Amino acid sequence: MKIIFSFIVICMSFNALAYDGWSDTYPISSIRVYSNSMVLITMPGANNPKGCSDTSYLVLKNADTEAGKRQYSALLTAYASGKKLNLALTGCSGGGTNGLPIIEQVWLK
């Protein structure tokens, strides 16, 4: 019984770390910062792997967390230097396919 339970927990943890897909490699054209720990970026040409209804921005939620601060720093670095980056996107900000694509990982190229 313990083995079955352990297997289920391991399978669920892999799924929790999954993302829907990558934005593909493009530069950031603008960054919009809100006071509620949310950062919006524009990245023309970026893929929309989840099929979110609004692709005017990509959203970094919880930018005030430790991980969010690192991701925001990487986004600013890419923007300031004109470097291209690839973003792992997970879900949509409004749930289901509603809202903006959510940034999960930032990969500077």
The whole-model pTM stands at: 0.81
pLDDT the model gives residue 8: 46
Q: How far apart are the first and last CA of the chain?
A: 46
List the chain residues with pLDDT less than 50: 5-16
pLDDT at 17: 56
Taken in order of first residue, the domains within the chain and their CATH numbers are 19-108 (2.40.50.70)
Q: Are 28 and 85 in contact (CB under 8 A)?
A: yes
Cβ distance 31 to 82 under 8 Å? no
Q: DSSP E strands: which ranges in the chain?
A: 21-22, 26-27, 30-33, 39-42, 58-60, 84-92, 101-108
- DSSP, collapsed to helix, strand or coil, labels residue 85 as strand
pLDDT of residue 35: 86
